[in-house]
Structure 1
Amino acid sequence: MVVTKLMDLESHRSKTMVVESIESKLEEIKIINDKAIVTIAYQTKGMMLGNPIDGTFRYLRVWNLIPNGYNILPGSCTKIGS
């Protein structure tokens, strides 16, 4: 399922994203100039937009340093285990 950034944010606001349990493991952070590329794995259980979530997922996020903090540029999430 493709979930846009707006869909993701709205799912948290509207409470259609329900996390029953979550455990993370940082895999890697690479800093390139004003960008940080972060790879992290989550063991997650819950619901997202009416669909069950249960398994291990790898998240990739590219963060951009801006004057008052960071913002996310692209990101992805892929199920890697059950």
Structure 2
Amino acid sequence: MITKNEILQLEKVLYEAMKNSDIEVLDKLLHTDLLFIVPSGQTITKEIDLQTYREGNLKLHELISKTENLNIIDDMAVITLQMELKGDYDNEAFEAKYKYIRFWKKFPEGIKVVGGSGIAI
């Protein structure tokens, strides 16, 4: 079983890893078969996501999140949230608001993100 507190704590760990481009933590949190639809509409895999951080293409300076919904369904959690992001992507500054849905699933080795999607709002 998964608890809401576990997921909220993992979300915080995920945000810190994103802000710090912490590949090791991101590698642990993202499932090998992750599929995520980014705001541009492109479907990315775990490897594509990690590569973005490895190459320094995405640098987040500020990340403010507001959880809207968090549902626990057996060994899965579905969270919707709004995020304000400030940073640089390919050396271009950006500041935007996004709405995300993320799916967390419990595995023997821990709880991992298996999928999600983000859109600009």
Smaller-chain TM-score bracket: 0.7 to 0.9
Question: How many pairs align?
Answer: 80
Could you tell me how far apart the structure 2 residues matched to 1:74 and 1:51 are?
27
Could you tell me how far apart the structure 1 residues matched to 2:49 and 2:94 are?
14
1:74 aligns with 2:109: no
> What TM-score, normalized by structure 1, do the two folds share?
0.82
The match for 2:61 among 15, 20, 27 is 20
1:38 aligns with 2:79: yes
Q: Is the 8 A contact 1:11 1:48 kept in 2?
A: no
User: What percent of counterpart residues are identical?
Assistant: 26
> What TM-score, normalized by structure 2, do the two folds share?
0.58
Moved over 2 A (4+): 47-53
Gaps of 5+ in 1: none
Structure with a larger share of its residues in strand = 1
Greater RCO (CA < 8 Å, at least 6 residues apart): 2
Structure with a larger share of its residues in helix = 2
Gaps of 5+ in 2: 1-39
- CA RMSD after TM alignment: 1.7
